[in-house]
Amino acid sequence: SSIQVGVLAEKLSKSSSEVIKKLMLLGIMATINQEIDFDTASMVAEEFGYAVVEAKEESIEEKLNIDEKDEPKDLVKRPPVITVMGHVDHGKTSLLDAIRKTKVTEREAGGITQHIGAYTVKVDGETITFLDTPGHEAFTAMRSRGASITDIAILVVAADDGVMPQTIEAINHAKAANVPIIVAINKIDKPAANPDRVKQELTEHGLLVEEWGGDIISVAVSAHTGEGLDQLLEMILLVAEMQELKANPNRRAKGSIVEAQLDKGRGTVATLLIETGTIHVGDSVVAGVSHGKVRAMVDDKGKRVKEAGPSMPVEIIGLSEVPSAGDTFYVVEDDKISRQIAETKKEEIREQHIHQTQRLSLEDLFNQIQQGTVKEINIIIKADVQGSIEALKQSLVRLSDDEVKVNVIHTGVGAISETDVMLASASNAIIIGFNVRPDNNARSIAEKEKVDIRLYRVIYNAIEDIQDAMKGMLDPEY
């Protein structure tokens, strides 16, 4: 928790300049509007003869006691949840379709599948849940909202094309989220397919496959011929087995919104992925600012269901408004509570707008380094050519010293995109653009997420800024 210098002064019945003076004596240069952390604030307060206790910040969930904790004895095995990632055109959609087709038998409710954003298949009597929204946008958006719903990431790499920029992006996203990767080397039916080259290129990005002595499982597949798909599914089960994924089906459900939209006839239609617990028709649900009773529920096969348990995706109708993908949903005791939580959430969002939690910007960096709250600087580099990236990366990493480590967590050629910003937001990173700019989407999201984007045309200037920030010599930008 933190407090503004001016607010602290008020609470201590002192003038701001008195507080700022005390801060200076403590070696902290602060302005009246600056946020200082609890420890610093209490030191100042003590100087003035006050004792300070930290108010515990309770989340709404805690306040209303809706997020019951599971006892280990209540936990049972649950299916793994899989995300498919990779470069555009490498076959993510084809692979998801192929798996769905081979595994969803005609016996299952009409055989007509419905795209609800996620689906399940049965392999050897075990269930696997696939998120049907390829690409890592959904994945990162969900992660930066604190929901980690993916257990395993399938990295699709076309055998005839090899590792490409979005492949690398996907690797970095999965690594940042600490999600195990299984590599699917796709399109091996093609004459130009060269799986060994793919494996070689992967090693350059820190993924060493098992057959070469590493711990990354890779499977050669073809979404077109179906070759290798069974093996891929087996491997998913194997990795899932090692993760010992568990949940408690005998409690009120909790999980994530996968996607949601407004349907003319049916109102809000939302796909939920249940993390733990069981959801029933008639349950009262709250998700972000949205609330309501589950009026009807269908599974991924388009079949009406009355209930759904852990790792199951279901589409529900009955919510008051459209929640965001990645929102956590809770089943609560009754409508009154769900409405109350949704209202509180709205209030909280309104307040956040006024009092945005500050993410790391270059200006703050020095203070945070001084206070010991920052020991690492995460940086994302986007540039017009690969050569500049390499040059920048090497120079920046070399700035690391005993106190502060500079990490380049992601690089790429091209404009700064929405996914770059989401990754920066999730990893508290600063984005450096060299001869590139953010696209419009990225710009507005960066503003919302308070991500610091710095644009340069001269490599030296970028290095100098980071160096100055580390030393506390950066001139503020206005």
> Do 314 and 299 meet the contact criterion of CB atoms below 8 Å apart?
yes
Nearer to ligand GDP, 96 or 308 (CB): 96
Which two tokens mark 166?
């979005």
* 88 annotated binding-site participant: yes
Q: Give phi and psi for 277, each to the nearest 5.
A: 85, 180
Write out the DSSP string of 386-451. Answer: HHHHHHHHHHHHTT--SS-EEEEEEEEESSB-HHHHHHHHHHTEEEEEES--B-HHHHHHHHHHT-
User: In angstroms, what is the minimal distance from the CB of 160 to ligand GDP?
Assistant: 8
Which of the 8 DSSP states describes residue 29? -
Sheet containing strand 405-413, edge to edge, reads 405-413, 376-383, 429-434, 453-456
* 291 annotated binding-site participant: no
> Do 411 and 381 meet the contact criterion of CB atoms below 8 Å apart?
yes
Nearer to ligand GDP, 134 or 326 (CB): 134
Nearer to ligand GDP, 89 or 403 (CB): 89
Nearer to ligand GDP, 224 or 393 (CB): 224
* 115 annotated binding-site participant: no
Task: Let me know the angle formed at the C-alpha of 40 by 34 and 41, rounded to the nearest 5 degrees.
Answer: 70
Measured distance CA(129)–CA(118) in Å, rounded: 7
Task: Let me know the angle formed at the C-alpha of 222 by 219 and 224, rounded to the nearest 5 degrees.
Answer: 160
Which of the 8 DSSP states describes residue 471? H
* 87 annotated binding-site participant: yes
Residues interacting with ligand GDP, by CB under 6 A? Answer: 86, 88-94, 134, 186-187, 189-190, 222-224
Nearer to ligand GDP, 187 or 254 (CB): 187
* 136 annotated binding-site participant: yes
* 154 annotated binding-site participant: no
| Angle at which helices 418-427 and 165-176 cross, to 10° | 20
Nearer to ligand GDP, 184 or 442 (CB): 184
User: In angstroms, what is the minimal distance from the CB of 171 to ligand GDP?
Assistant: 15
Measured distance CA(38)–CA(455) in Å, rounded: 33
Nearer to ligand GDP, 78 or 187 (CB): 187
* 187 annotated binding-site participant: yes
In a 13 Å sphere around the CA of 27, the CA atoms on its Cβ side amount to: 8
Nearer to ligand GDP, 164 or 281 (CB): 164
User: In angstroms, what is the minimal distance from the CB of 91 to ligand GDP?
Assistant: 3
* 277 annotated binding-site participant: no
Measured distance CA(470)–CA(368) in Å, rounded: 10
* 6 annotated binding-site participant: no
> Do 295 and 270 meet the contact criterion of CB atoms below 8 Å apart?
no
Can you count the helices (H) and strands (E) in the chain? 15, 22
User: In angstroms, what is the minimal distance from the CB of 291 to ligand GDP?
Assistant: 35
Nearer to ligand GDP, 46 or 89 (CB): 89
Q: Which residues contact 218 (CB under 8 A, 6 or more apart)?
A: 182, 183, 184, 185, 195, 199, 202, 209, 210, 211
User: In angstroms, what is the minimal distance from the CB of 131 to ligand GDP?
Assistant: 13
User: In angstroms, what is the minimal distance from the CB of 170 to ligand GDP?
Assistant: 11
Measured distance CA(241)–CA(224) in Å, rounded: 28
User: In angstroms, what is the minimal distance from the CB of 93 to ligand GDP?
Assistant: 3
Which of the 8 DSSP states describes residue 68? P
> Do 411 and 378 meet the contact criterion of CB atoms below 8 Å apart?
no
Torsion of CA 309, 247, 73, 127, to 10 degrees: 70
* 344 annotated binding-site participant: no
User: In angstroms, what is the minimal distance from the CB of 185 to ligand GDP?
Assistant: 10
* 89 annotated binding-site participant: yes
User: In angstroms, what is the minimal distance from the CB of 98 to ligand GDP?
Assistant: 8
Nearer to ligand GDP, 229 or 279 (CB): 229
In DSSP terms, 319 is beta-bridged to 268, 292
User: In angstroms, what is the minimal distance from the CB of 35 to ligand GDP?
Assistant: 43
Nearer to ligand GDP, 92 or 382 (CB): 92
β-strands 284-287, 453-456 pairing: unpaired
User: In angstroms, what is the minimal distance from the CB of 102 to ligand GDP?
Assistant: 13
- Would you mind telling me the total number of residues written for the chain in this entry? 478
Tell me the binding residues for GTP. Answer: 86-93, 132-136, 186-189
Tell me the binding residues. Answer: 86-93, 132-136, 186-189
